[in-house]
Amino acid sequence: MATALYVITASRSLTRNLLSLPVLKEGRCVVSLGHCQVEKCISYSNLSSNRAVETIPVSLPLVQITRSTSFFNKVTAEQLWKGVTSVSNAGRKRGRGKGVGKKIAKNLNRGQVIGVGYDNIQWPGLSAPILRGKELVQQQTLPRDEEREAKLLQIRNTMGQFRPMKIDPLERGWSGTRLPGRSIGPPDPIGEETFEGFDTKVLEFKSVTHMSGIFGRKKRFSMFVVTGNGNGLGGFALAKSTTMPGCHKKSRNKAGQRLIHFPRYNDHTIMHDFFSQYGYTKVFARKKPEGYGLVCHRALKTICEVIGIKDMYAKVEGPTKNIQNLTKAFFLGLMKQKTHQDLANEKNLHLVEFREENLEFPRVVASPESGVVRTLDQISKDEEMNFKLYIMGGKMELERKKYPPFYTRLYGWEIYRKKYAKRRIVDKLRHNLYLEHGEVRSFYADEYPECREDPPYSAKRAAEVQE
């Protein structure tokens, strides 16, 4: 210990305080100044003066006691990883919680052995045995392992990788890994009735909250789904639950109890064009030939796939993001469809079909069931005979004017018209052959059967359906 001599000037107040200190020996007392124990020698004869000068030997410590405190000493590893991999409730409300599941906490202890570190020291009883044979193992420093750090980094890099489950491209949703557009399976069986062949797809999924007087803000999940068997049967439902599995089960079972059957033309498209509206959402649906596909809103496409409609064009006007109103408008339009037989019975007339792929050749598709067909004299002049106006309720869709193509104003267009002028009557000849023979054929067809034109695929399908 180091000893220092301090000379202090004591006033009467200090002298009075020193006199009150306990005296260990005659003329000696101990004073605590801060962290130092001061052994003070004082003479009582000097205390009577106004100012006393004393010499005090002081012992100063060479080691100062400290308590190291740090952020990393106060917080556990689990809490540190939670701060990296999670988002607060306030952050979730602001949209910062979408990629939380992709960050995974790493176990940094993997790959490390107790007693083995950067300096490869051999510790008997920890990283090495105490006895090796009859020889006592001594502590010693071994050469460093240069590959140890690389192996640890490799283990840590492979540990925290997020591997999403691979989904078939046909089973993916509308956008990324989100739930809308994805299948959640058929409804659960009800007694002995099983929903074989049914499939349920999600149209809308969101979390909703409402304020309660007892529990405060309560959060629930809302799911809007559509189910069907792909053969004209379909239904939709909206369900809410506090858990995801409960919301799945409740919504698909609820939709399975609200099924409606819709007629389809040749099992591939709607019966006729229709217009439907629910709220401010309007849907214009058009019937299309086989092979056209589904050209419409993604929600309508999902509904058509579930019901079994393969070919259709639909135009949506108004709020297109309101999935519930859009679905209700489309279902109302499907429910208001009329079959060919219903139209023939309403009018008491033959229903004749003209198809472009058949060169507008007329074909009777339905006749009145009563057998009584009105004549032209029995039809009033004010009665609507236009098929499209009749099914639209007297309304006509306002379509954009189609302007002629730019190439019709070029000089080469006139040359093209003169070159193919001799073939301008081909369509009329084909039409006459349909009227006379029912098909496009050559006059050698009786002798050579291959001199006939193959009917289109849709005509073959229609013939098979009639048979």
Task: Give the model's pLDDT for residue 57.
Answer: 59
Task: Give the model's pLDDT for residue 104.
Answer: 80
| The pLDDT of residue 368 is above 50 | yes
Is 90 within the bounds of a domain?
A: no
Give the Cβ contact number of residue 231 at 10 Å. 13
Domain count, the chain: 6
Q: Tell me what the mean pLDDT of segment 332-344 comes to.
A: 95
Residues 365 and 449 in one domain: no
| The pLDDT of residue 63 is above 60 | yes
Residues 191 and 248 in one domain: yes
| The pLDDT of residue 163 is above 80 | no
Task: Give the model's pLDDT for residue 308.
Answer: 95
Is 92 within the bounds of a domain?
A: no
Is 78 within the bounds of a domain?
A: no
- The whole-angstrom separation of Cα 27 and Cα 254 is 100
Residues 181 and 254 in one domain: yes
- H helices of 289-339, in order, are 298-307, 323-335
Task: Give the model's pLDDT for residue 282.
Answer: 96
Q: List, in order, residues 6 or more apart from 218 with CB less than 8 Å away.
A: 209, 210, 211, 212
Per-residue pLDDT band for 18 (boundaries 50, 70, 90) equals very low
110 half-sphere exposure, CB direction, 13 A CA radius: 12
Q: Is the pTM of this model over 0.85?
A: no
Range of the domain at 33: 2-60
Task: Give the model's pLDDT for residue 58.
Answer: 56
For 127-162, the pLDDT digits (tens) are: 888 888 888 888 888 888 888 888 888 888 887 666
Task: Give the model's pLDDT for residue 59.
Answer: 59
Task: Give the model's pLDDT for residue 466.
Answer: 66
Is 23 within the bounds of a domain?
A: yes
Is 93 within the bounds of a domain?
A: no
Q: Tell me what the mean pLDDT of segment 201-225 comes to.
A: 93
The CA-atom distances, in angstroms, between 416 and each of 365, 422, 425, 429 are 39, 11, 16, 21
Least confident piece of the model among 233-237, 379-383, 413-417, 461-465: 461-465
Residues 177 and 253 in one domain: yes
Residues 157 and 176 in one domain: no
For the chain, the average pLDDT equals 82
Residues 350 and 301 in one domain: no
Residues 255 and 176 in one domain: yes
**CATH classification of the domain holding 180:** 3.30.160.20
The amino acid at residue 143 is: P
**CATH classification of the domain holding 304:** 3.30.230.10
Per-residue pLDDT band for 284 (boundaries 50, 70, 90) equals very high
Question: First CA to last CA across the chain, in angstroms?
Answer: 118
Residues 347 and 423 in one domain: no
Per-residue pLDDT band for 323 (boundaries 50, 70, 90) equals very high
Residues 222 and 138 in one domain: no
Residues 173 and 257 in one domain: yes
Residues 253 and 279 in one domain: no
Task: Give the model's pLDDT for residue 145.
Answer: 86
Is 77 within the bounds of a domain?
A: no
Is 81 within the bounds of a domain?
A: no
Look at 163 and 274; give whichever has higher pLDDT.
Answer: 274
Task: Give the model's pLDDT for residue 305.
Answer: 96
Q: Tell me what the mean pLDDT of segment 163-168 comes to.
A: 75
Give the whole-number percent of the chain exceeding pLDDT 90: 41
Q: List, in order, residues 6 or more apart from 77 with CB less than 8 Å away.
A: 108
Residues 253 and 189 in one domain: yes
Is 378 within the bounds of a domain?
A: yes
Residue-wise DSSP of 270-292: -SS-EEEEETTEEEEEEE--TT-
Task: Give the model's pLDDT for residue 72.
Answer: 66
Residue-wise DSSP of 139-177: PEEPPP-TTHHHHHHHHHHHHS---PPP--GGG--SSTT
